[in-house]
Chains A and B, each alone.
Chain A
Amino acid sequence: MSASSTLKSGRLGHGQAVGAVGAGVAVTVLAFWLTPLQGRADFGVVAYLAGTAGYLLAAARTEGRRSVVDRLAAVLMATTVGVCLLALGSVLIYTAVRGLTSMDWYFFTHSMNGVGPRDDAGGAYHAIVGTLQQVLLASLIAVPSGLLVAIYLTEYGRGRLASLVRTVVDVMVGIPSIVAGLFIYAFWVLGLGRGFSGFAAAMALSILMLPIVVRSAEEMIKLVPPSLREAAYALGIPRWRAILKVVLPTASAGITTGVMLAVARVTGETAPLLLTAFGFDSIQNDPFSGPQSSLPLFVFGQASSAFGAAVDRAWAGALTLIAVVLLLTVAARLVTRRNRLV
């Protein structure tokens, strides 16, 4: 009985599918038991392939070619999602396990002043101070100017200057983070002779933040319904007050999300800081004078060392960094979810 002779072709039942996959896995178990094949990862790969093969063979027995191809495509796409989950899971879990073993109160309250790479001492206090100051300063520069640029582009921008500003923002999105560091190094550190400092790092970070803030604020301001604005104009309110009192408050939730995502992104940046903050082992409370450390720099520095104690510190720093960045990201999502414009 061929599938084409009947109006309704055969269909692989659910139980049959499970059985076919199970048969594939069972063959793998046997193969690993009886032959020299071994290893957990190898078992996973072979079991996956054998299970898929069993599933597709079973489908080929009852269904037509098109349906088998369809099932193959579905398996492949589900696999890609599995790869994403596996990758994320292994990064997060491995960092958490390694980080938690070497993370304690001492780690958060001490700097690396006078600690050698082999000493099992020292902490990230100086780096946390540096990161907080640099990210705060970067936000103080990038958020207001980014908002103003976004307002300019949506409310006032016409003609040559507007298209130039738009191009510049487009270009800034594509600036590799290390090049942002080089900008500030050539301009501020060398050009104006101000030397390495936390503030220089903040400027480099603000170059990376600005386009993200502009983009998200622009999108959010565009979503504000024109009727709201028109209502304000009808009451005789000048344009700047309508923007300040009607447009911005309406878009504020979305803008906050964009700002928080931008902050999360630059908190994890390492490359530009190498060329601007440079890194420093002691506590440096003044971001305007002299080299300063930061969490990403701390992790990078400790990871570059071959000694176990340094690597443990790197994992603890990495876990701290991930925790901060993920908290910001999740919080940003929650803000949008609660007040949705649209």
Chain B
Amino acid sequence: MTTLVAGAVVVVLLAMTVFLLIRAWPAVRTAGGDFLTERQWFPDATPARFGIAALVWGTVVSSILALAVAVPVAVGSALYVTEYARPAVGRWIGYVVDVLAAVPSVVYGLWGLLFLVPRMVPVQRFLAEHLGFVPFFDNPDGVYGKSVFAASVVLALMVLPIVAAVSREIFRQVPQELREASIALGATRWEVIRTSVLPPSRSGVIGAVILGLGRALGETIAVALVLAATFEVHLRILEPGGNTIAANIATKFGESGDVGRSALIASGLILFAITLGATMFARRVIRRSALR
């Protein structure tokens, strides 16, 4: 019976993938090669013009930016828990990280839209006015608000607990003898971390980061609420606008016709492929690094 259920899970998942492919096909056939290169999203217009170029760009940029914000904080707090804090304090920080992970994404979205975005306007203006010569921070219109940068900060908060929790486990696995050897040679606490804790954990932390990337790529509702949907490809992360595959599905689904929904399913398959690649890679890296 357990074999039957296990087999059934496999069969159901395969069947669903087949259904997705069937439903995605009409849109892909309509768009042809433009599906990969077109930026606009008008699948229900005649003639239909739609493609995932802007969506994939927005998904990748916002996720990478989120990681750039989240990873230092996550790894730092994980190191604090394992290397600095007393066990009781460390346990409490662990609870805090767990609670951060448990907060639903729609709540992050609401908080990001109504609390964080207005408060980030001065920060964004500061960056644009003082670092505007860097292409990322250029914002010629001088309008600030629902930008890719703001969305990435919200995403960063959602990625943080995963990266922090996995890195913490990895740092815990580092044998105590390695640390004691460094201490015996007169190393300071930071030198212990740099020479004995980080090198053996490196690939494990990379795995944790990619797991976080998987979460950031697939996050839907928070991005849908925080971003003002536009379909552009550029590096100016402080400009309002931008979009991701997942957020586009959430915002466009209700108003789409047959071709539109088929196109959304096709874009969802692309998202699935991207996250699948990332998580499989992460799993392999983590498995290889397992210190046993």
The interface of chain A, by Cβ under 8 A from chain B, is: 41, 66-67, 69-70, 72-74, 76-81, 83-85, 87-88, 90-92, 94-95, 98, 145, 148-149, 151-153, 155-157, 161-162, 164-165, 168-179, 182-187, 190-191, 210, 264-265, 267-271, 274-275, 278, 296, 299-300, 303-304, 311, 314-315, 318, 321-322, 325-326, 329, 333
* Docked pose: A322 CA to B86 CA in angstroms: 29
Which B99-145 residues have C-beta < 8 A from chain A?
Answer: 99-100, 102-111, 113-115, 119
Q: Does B97 contact A (CB under 8 A)?
A: yes
Q: Is the CB of A271 within 8 A of B246?
A: yes
The interface of chain B, by Cβ under 8 A from chain A, is: 1-3, 5-10, 13, 15-17, 19-20, 22-23, 72-77, 79-81, 83-85, 93, 95-100, 102-111, 113-115, 119, 157, 160, 164, 188-191, 193, 214, 217-221, 224-225, 246, 249-250, 253-254, 261, 264-265, 268, 271-272, 275-276, 278-280, 283
The A-B contact count (CB < 8 A) is 248
Complex partner residue of B108 from A91, A153, A164, A329, CB under 8 angstroms: A91
Q: Is the CB of B1 within 8 A of A299?
A: no
- Say what secondary structure dominates the interface of chain A: helix
* Docked pose: A67 CA to B221 CA in angstroms: 46
* Docked pose: A264 CA to B193 CA in angstroms: 35
CB-CB < 8 A to A274: which residues of B?
A: 250, 253-254
CB-CB < 8 A to B108: which residues of A?
A: 91
Q: Is the CB of B5 within 8 A of A83?
A: no
* Docked pose: A271 CA to B158 CA in angstroms: 15
Q: Is the CB of B188 within 8 A of A77?
A: no
| B100, B190, B217, B221: residue with the most chain A Cβ atoms closer than 10 Å | B221
* Docked pose: A171 CA to B9 CA in angstroms: 12
CB-CB < 8 A to A145: which residues of B?
A: 5, 8-9
Offer 23 A-B interface pairs, CB within 8 angstroms, sorted by A: A70-B190, A70-B191, A77-B84, A79-B76, A81-B77, A85-B96, A87-B160, A91-B103, A92-B103, A148-B1, A155-B2, A171-B279, A175-B272, A176-B246, A179-B268, A270-B104, A270-B250, A271-B221, A271-B246, A274-B253, A300-B106, A321-B104, A322-B107
